[in-house]
Amino acid sequence: MPLDVVDLRSFYNSPLGEVARRLIGKIVRERFSNCTGYSILGFGYATPYLGIFRDEAVRVLAFMPAEQGVVNWPSSGHSASALVEPAMMPLPDASIDRAILVHSLEITEHPRELLAEIWRVLTPGGRILVVAPSRSGLWARIDTTPFGHGQPYSLGQLRDLMRQTLFSPTHWDEALYAPPFRRRTLIHSAAMLEQVGASLSLPGAGVLIVEATKQLYRPVGVRKAAQRALPGFEPRFAPEAIGVAPALRVVKGAGRQTPNFAPVSV
């Protein structure tokens, strides 16, 4: 069941949510270090990680799924957030340079359709950054945070899903090594625990972060289009006479018919 946008906003307004925003946001910024002149799309609940791009990107959009709800973002100026269907985003093809998915892939009912739609709106060579709960992490096992809801992923599952939807993974990262507890001592030591866990590549990180590029071909769609273009063939089991055909003649007095193999024009 998708999280409500009110719960997501409340989490990121808490001290533990601020820790998650800071630690994940650091990696997001490292991967998308220079977005001058780019169009950036955040899907799910990505607003805590989009503010850093507003001063350099041409446009920054925050799309939220209909099941989750939407909040106005940013708090000042023109709104850049919208409530959308994951498989039918109101964007033209190849109109987005960078996409960030947070609190979306693990909750959506059809993750392949979501990634296919992201593929459609990305420009050739566009890049996507997916943040998803790690199956082996503690954050996915405790439902007191948004990362404890939905379907967590292993590294292999996330890699296969990206490749099936025609994305080429180029970089992997992990974050949230600190446990998801609201104790003040753990919150204050979260940065140190994150540094130790990342430097030693310890297991048990809370989220997986994968960066991938859009492949410039879609073999599945081409194959389906070719199949639709093939003519239909109907089997015919009844043989047709070619060349000669037997004609019947009556033999007088014989009381029976015998075939007369006279040529018949066709």
* Contact criterion met (CB below 8 Å) for 137 and 205: yes
Whether 250 is in a domain gets the answer no
Residue 83 falls within a domain, yes or no?
A: yes
244 within some domain: no
Q: What is the pLDDT of residue 240?
A: 56
Q: Is the dihedral of CA 30, 31, 36, 41 positive or negative?
A: negative
State the CATH number of the domain containing residue 76.
3.40.50.150
Amino acid residing at 180 = P
With respect to residue 67, please indicate whether it lies within any of the assigned structural domains.
yes
Instruction: Decide: residue 50, CB within 10 A, 0-12 exposed, 13-18 middle, 19+ buried.
Output: buried
Question: Is the pLDDT at 220 greater than 50, yes or no?
Answer: no
Q: What is the pLDDT of residues 103-151, one digit of tens each?
A: 999 999 999 999 999 999 999 999 999 999 999 999 999 999 999 999 9
Is the confidence at residue 95, as pLDDT, over 80? yes
- Position 223 pLDDT exceeds 80: no
Domain count, the chain: 1
- Measured CA to CA, the distance from residue 21 to residue 14 in angstroms comes to 10
* Inside any domain, residue 232: no
Consecutive H or E run containing 104: none
Q: Which structural domain range is residue 89 located in?
A: 5-217
Residue 226 within a domain: no
In a domain, 103, yes or no: yes
